[in-house]
Amino acid sequence: MFPADTYIKRRKRLIDDVKSGVILFLGNDESPMNYPANPYHFRQDSSFSYFFGLDLPGLAAVIDVDQARITVFGDDVTVEDIVWTGPLPTLRENCRKIGVENTAPSAQLENILKSAVRNNRKIHFLPPYRPENILKLQRLLGVQPDQAKSRASVPLIKAVVAQRSIKSAREVEQIETALEVSYLTHTYAFKNAKPGMYEWEIVGGMDDIVHSRGMTASFPIIFTIKGQTLHNHYHGNIMQAGNIAINDSGIESPLHYASDITRTIPIGGKFTDRQKEIYRIVLDCNTKAIDACKPGIEFRAVHALVARTVLAGLKDVGLVQGDLEEAFHAHAHTLFFPHGLGHMLGLDVHDMEDLGEDYVGYTDAIKRRPEFGWAYLRLAKALEPGHIVTIEPGIYFIPELIDRWHADKKCESFINYQKLLAYKDFGGIRIEDDVLVTEDGRRLLGQPIPKTIEDVQNLSS
Ligand code: GLY
Ligand code: MN
Ligand code: MN
């Protein structure tokens, strides 16, 4: 964990920002895979981690904002527990490390909250996403499960988002630690993915690199020759010479900060001319978008820059035609680039998505657009120093989407469907990097991972 002072300062600012009432933070519990004693790998709730740093199941915390009193609830292990777990620090010992003096057994949480409710105190909680915590809110506060998200506290969400969005030097360091391992997994995949292998052989090799450094993946690895499916987690295809494999993978640092990098690998070591044409456009989008990042620029403008670059590039290839500005306003790019350019990165890969993307990426003045493609843009608001964002343009040829648009004659004057039909077996290309917004511009985080056609081909075999 970080030094206690970090957590003390974060909680103090939270109290200042929320102003009054009682804040309830529910940490995560163990989550059973198939029976309770066989749980998934434990992952603490990210906001609990941010304010309390304790990477343990079964904890909750209450901040009485009016009295600036902070209590962490949990249970010490019994002798019977120790038979299975070995001796563990007490809650009091753990809390000292994060600057919290008051601790109490879990059983007291219910009484304290019920008395706060009786006294008409406002109870702030964040939107829950785990079933256990949804049920706890029902038991502790009488919140019906189907209302647990809508009754979350907007002032608390906004206060948490405001703090977590601006990364400190220590947090940047954590993400760069994750990126050191991303460098290793990505260069490993370039060097080792060969015709005749199953995708899972490369996924297994990357897993080894991550786990042998005591770390874990920040999300299930996307490694696929069918990259036209954006979140394809199947790893059972045999790679053939001439395929392109998308490797979208990330690492969690020791303090659970994420990296998120995508590279596209020519299986057999060489891109075809057709692949090179599309790859160059995506790389151009990636570098232009990174160069555009600076304080004050709205991320939706960077997304639009990429959308226009996709259209211009595809016009050169002959897949797009007509007036490019008109094509952009008709959303023709969304056939090829249906997702958003990027998202914030931090303790979560899609940072704070559980708190509500519109609180993280939008403002009262900048609202999410409803159209296909634009609706998936997770971040639209102006960038600020301390934001860490991903830049992840891609071009995909999704057969079902092409067929649907073609049948509907959608954007017919802007898309050369006759030529496009020959691309239905192409797959997809994505190139993703992680970028810190600085006072005067941006810094690409981590050791650069090869991405030019020449560098990528030199590394691949
Ligand atoms: N790894 C999912 C994403 O890039 O957003
Ligand atoms: Mn990614
Ligand atoms: Mn991403």
**Could you read off the pLDDT of 262-306 as tens digits, one per residue?**
999 999 999 999 999 999 999 999 999 999 999 999 999 999 999
User: 371 C-alpha to center of ligand 2: Å?
Assistant: 23
Helix (H), strand (E) at residue 442:
strand 441-444
> C-alpha 347: how far from its chain's center?
8
- How far away, in angstroms, is 393 Cα from ligand 3 center? 10
- What is the reported pTM? 0.96
Tell me, in angstroms, the distance from the centre of ligand 3 to residue 73's CA. Answer: 35
Kindly identify the ligand whose nearest atom is closest to the C-alpha of 357. 1
Distance CA 396, CA 188 (A): 24
Give the CA distances from residue 65 to residues 151, 377, 424, in Å, rounded to whole numbers and listed in that order: 19, 35, 58
Q: Nearest C-alpha to atom 3 of ligand 1 is from which residue?
A: 260
What are the phi and psi torsion angles at 174 (to 5°)?
-60, -45
**Residue 461 scores a pLDDT above 90:** no
Interval 149-167: pLDDT, tens: 999 999 999 999 999 999 9
Contacts of residue 103, Cβ cutoff 8 Å, sequence gap at least 6: 71, 72, 73, 74, 91, 92, 95
Determine what percent of the chain is predicted with pLDDT higher than 90. 100
Over residues 370-390, the pLDDT tens digits come to: 999 999 999 999 999 999 999
In terms of phi and psi (left: phi > 0; alpha: psi -120 to 50; beta: otherwise), the region of 339 is beta
- CA of 339, closest atom in ligand 1: 5
Q: Ligand 1, residue 390: give the atom nearest the CA.
A: 4
Site to probe by mutation for ligand 1, drawn from 206, 248, 377, 396 as the one with most ligand atoms within 8 Å of Cβ, is 248
CA distance linking residue 36 with residue 41, whole number of Å: 12
Alpha-carbon span 140 to 232, nearest angstrom = 39
Nearby residues of 425 by Cβ (< 8 Å), 6 or more positions away: 397
Q: Is the pLDDT of residue 195 over 90?
A: yes
Domain 169-460 top-level CATH class: alpha beta
Q: Please choose from 219, 230, 247 the residue to mutate so as to test ligand 1's pocket, defined by most ligand atoms within 8 A of CB.
A: 219
Q: What DSSP element (H or E) covers 18?
A: helix 4-18
| Rg of the chain, C-alpha, whole Å | 24
Which DSSP state fits 435?
Answer: E
**C-alpha to C-alpha distance for 253 and 159, rounded to whole angstroms:** 25
Task: Confirm if 258 and 349 have CB atoms less than 8 A apart.
Answer: yes
Task: Calculate how far, in angstroms, residue 54's C-alpha sits from the geometric centre of ligand 2.
Answer: 27
Residue 263 Cα to ligand 2 midpoint, Å, equals 9
Residue 272 CA to chain centroid, in angstroms? 32
Q: Is residue 177 predicted with pLDDT exceeding 90?
A: yes
Q: Please provide the average confidence, as pLDDT, over all residues in the chain.
A: 97
Q: For 119-139, write each residue's pLDDT tens digit.
A: 999 999 999 999 999 999 999
Round to whole Å and give the CA distance between 248 and 392: 10
Which pLDDT band holds residue 63 (cuts at 50, 70, 90)?
very high
**Is 100 a residue whose pLDDT tops 90?**
yes
Cβ(418)–Cβ(424) under 8 Å?
no
Q: Are β-strands 22-26 and 123-125 bridged in parallel, bridged antiparallel, or unpaired?
A: parallel
207 confidence band (pLDDT: 50, 70, 90): very high
Residues β-bridged to residue 388: 436
Distance 196 CA to ligand 3 centre (A): 29
Structure tokens at 354: 């559980």
Tell me how far apart the alpha carbons of residues 399 and 406 are, in angstroms, rounded to a whole number. 10
Extract the tokens encoding 325: 């500005």
Spell out the SS3 assignment of 43-72: CCCHHHHHHHCCCCCCCEEEEECCCCEEEE
User: Which distant-in-sequence residues (6+ apart) come within 8 Å of 12 by Cβ?
Assistant: none
Length of the chain: 461
* Distance, CA of 411 to CA of 418 (rounded, Å): 13
- Classify domain 4-164 by CATH architecture: 3-Layer(aba) Sandwich (3.40)
Q: Are 73 and 109 in contact (CB under 8 A)?
A: yes
Measured from the Cα of 250, ligand 1's closest atom is 1
pLDDT in tens, 383-422: 999 999 999 999 999 999 999 999 999 999 999 999 999 9
Beta bridge partners of 441: 438
Angle between helix axes 107-118 and 131-141 (nearest 10 degrees) is: 50
Delimit the domains of the chain by residue range: 4-164, 169-460
DSSP string of 215-271, one letter each residue = -EESS--EEES-TTSTT-----PBP-TT-EEEEEE-EE-TT--B--EEEEEETTS--
d(CA 412, CA 417): 8
Q: What's the CA-to-centroid distance between 394 and ligand 2, angstroms?
A: 11
Token readout for 425 is: 């077996």
Please list every protein residue whose CB sits less than 6 Å from any atom of ligand 1: 219, 248, 260, 343, 349, 392, 432
- pLDDT for 13 equals 98
Structure tokens at 440: 């005067």
pLDDT band for 64, please (50, 70, 90 cuts).
very high
How far is the C-alpha of 261 from the C-alpha of 189, rounded, in Å?
12
| Ligand 1 atom index nearest CA of 248 | 1
Q: What is the pLDDT of residue 165?
A: 98
